[in-house]
Structure 1
Amino acid sequence: MTDSLSLPHAAPPAPAGAATGADYAQFLQQHLPQQSFNVVRYELPGESVWLKKAGPPIAAWRYRALAVAARVLDVPVLQPVINPGGREALATEVRRLRDLHARGLRVPQVLASNPDGFLMRHLGKPGMPSPSLSDEIEAAARAAPQETLPLWQQGFAAMQLVHARGTCLSQAFARNMVRCPDGVIGYIDFEDDPLATLPPALCIVKDALCYAHSTALFLRNAGTLEAARTQWHSWLAQADPAVQSAMDRTVQQMRWVARLPDSRKLGRDVLRLRAMHGLLQK
């Protein structure tokens, strides 16, 4: 998890010395019933951990509008990946974190778990920042535009690394990528599993669109959108034909976005869509 999250912190007593699996399991069992918030960070000797408890279930009807839109617009990549919430979402996140860790990807390590919660190690180091990539790119776009493209490239490469390892992210927004103190990109937030619902090619496209949507406006503001577009299409030209086909169809269905007014009065969401369209078009 990132240091930038506005979540409550706690500093309970912890066993001295290196913690064992039994210590982590005992910590989870002790603190889970007492925790009021869904996610809380705790400081242990020499490390920070996050305890996440199961939230309330999420009604499936909330996803129906998006499912209808996917059918009407004939854009399969819009098909929703349902996050059921509750224990099921928690179990999915634990499973996915362990799978990604086993593939050599930088994710929070699961230290202990049970059906109602799990304990994971913080991606950063005590006393050292580990900001989200979104925060870093946005800050660079404002203060150091020349740094925006290298940061974007690092996140784009990190997304491709996940695909090269035979899996996908859940929501590949830049806010769910963390720049660890050693400079490596880590990944967070895995309460759903797109591969359980969508073909691998659509999962890759969904990841890429999430990343584009969350970064394109920063690129445009920094004057680096065109350079990023060149790299985007270089990646797409080497992608699997199924990925190319799904991406082409999605871009075609997004042609209406170019007709949206380029005005701040319509809000940041419209500007994000326009910038995203600018990144994707040939």
Structure 2
Amino acid sequence: MTNVLNCNLIARTGLSGREQLIALTEKHAAISKHRVFHFDFEGNCYVVKKQLMKRSKIGYSILTLITKALSIPALQGIPVPGGKLTQDIEIKRLISLSAAGVPVPKVVSVGNDYFVMSCLGHSNVEACLKNPGEKSFLVYWEQALAAILEVHRKGAYLSQAFIRNMIAEHGAVAFVDFEDDPGAVMPVHCAQARDWLLYLLSSSLRLNLSPQAQADVILSYLQQERIEVVEEVFACASKIALFRFIFRRKKPYHNRDLQSFKVFIQLMQALSSRRSTTG
């Protein structure tokens, strides 16, 4: 939703600019059927995010049990309670990440059941990998790798580091979607390892590049990471690679999720083999 609703009418009410923005936001939030939507005001784009309905904890509990049994703590489930609690988590994370210098949306205002943030752009890394245009897909992929590394250098970590949650515009990568806080349930180095794993899971299938070639590029970035993060990534990779027996059949998989997991497991195997040969 990008149109402006009754903007001129609101502008004639004598309200200040901020008051006009809040009034306009309330009107949009009341009529929009979308939980997340954009609108323009005085030449700027804003994003409104309504509160998430409360979620069942079953999926989180199952994932946590599995990852604990397999000793893969970086991929354990992160609770997303929904409602005001989730909104408060995201607002707190956005404010703290912004203060640390991480490129994330600025919190503009907070309503009863929504909040407003600045819009960082409309083109995410997922779209850029699908249609890279004149640039190589590798440019966008490596921009995101470098951006994740920079986040970690600031002592921070992301939440859901999937390519759909990374905005790629003007030669830079920014981040959105912070409804959970991995650091609340795991050490920082595990949360940072999680960033790498989620990014690779969501991007590996999109690349016209073999898992072995991907692993070579990834290693060049991991070599710049803190040693405890690198060790956690490789520990997870070696365990995930054990699941390659699931995808033994030679027939292609038509389900997109299965395709992604197959390539991701191959990538983890390639990373593990690189580690064994390099040290």
In structure 1, the partner of 2:137 is 148
- 1:161 aligned residue: 150
Please state if 1:59 is matched with 2:56: yes
Partner of 1:190: 178
Please list every run of 5 or more consecutive structure 2 residues that lacks an aligned counterpart in the other structure: 275-279
For 2:85 and 2:217, how far apart are their aligned partners in 1?
Answer: 38
Distance 2:176 2:139 in 1: 21
TM-score normalized by the length of structure 1: 0.84
Name the structure 2 match of 1:272. 260
Local SS of the residue matching 2:87? helix
What residue is the counterpart of 1:103 in the other structure? 100
Q: Does 1:258 align with 2:244?
A: yes
- Cα-Cα RMSD: 2.5
Contact 1:12 1:43 in 2 (8 A): no
| 1:106-121 pair list within 5 angstroms | 106-121=103-118
TM-score, normalising length from structure 2? 0.84
Please say if residues 21 and 41 of structure 2, whose CA atoms lie closer than 8 Å, have aligned partners that are also in contact: no
**Cα-to-partner distance string for 1:123-143 (whole Å, 9 max, x where unaligned):** 13xxxxx31101111224xx8
Which residue, out of 21, 38, 45, partners 1:41?
A: 38
| Residue 79 (structure 1) shift | 1.4
SS of structure 2 residue aligned to 1:168: coil
1:57–1:234 CA distance, 2 compared to 1 (3 A): same
**Cα distance in structure 2, aligned partners of 1:31 and 1:189:** 21
Q: In the alignment, which residue of structure 1 is the partner of 2:204?
A: 216
- Given that residues 263 and 271 in structure 1 are in contact (C-alpha distance below 8 angstroms), is that contact kept between their aligned partners in structure 2? no
CA contact 1:16–1:45 (8 Å) conserved in 2: no
Gaps of 5+ in 1: 1-7, 125-129
Q: Give distance in 2, aligned partners of 1:10 and 1:101.
A: 28
Question: What amino acid maps onto 2:144 in structure 1?
Answer: G
Secondary structure (helix, strand or coil) at the match of 1:101 reads helix
Per the TM alignment, residue 118 of structure 1 is displaced from its structure 2 partner at its CA by 0.7
The CA distance in 2 between the partners of 1:117 and 1:150, in whole Å, is 35
CA 1:62 to 1:258, structure 2 compared with 1: closer, same or farther past 3 Å? closer
In 2, distance between residues paired with 1:253 and 1:192?
25
Q: Deviations over 1:199-250 (max 9, x none)?
A: 011101110001101111122xx13644431121233334323223322221
Which of 217, 234, 238 is 1:248 aligned to?
234
Identity of aligned residues (%): 26
Q: Spell out the pairing of 1:199-238 with structure 2 (5 A cutoff).
A: 199-219=187-207, 222-223=208-209, 225-238=211-224
Please state whether the residue corresponding to 1:265 is helix, strand or coil: coil
Structure 1 residue 174 corresponds to structure 2 residue 163: yes
What residue is the counterpart of 2:4 in the other structure? 11
Of 24-33 and 106-115, deviating more is 24-33
Report if the CA contact (8 A) 2:196-2:233 is conserved: no
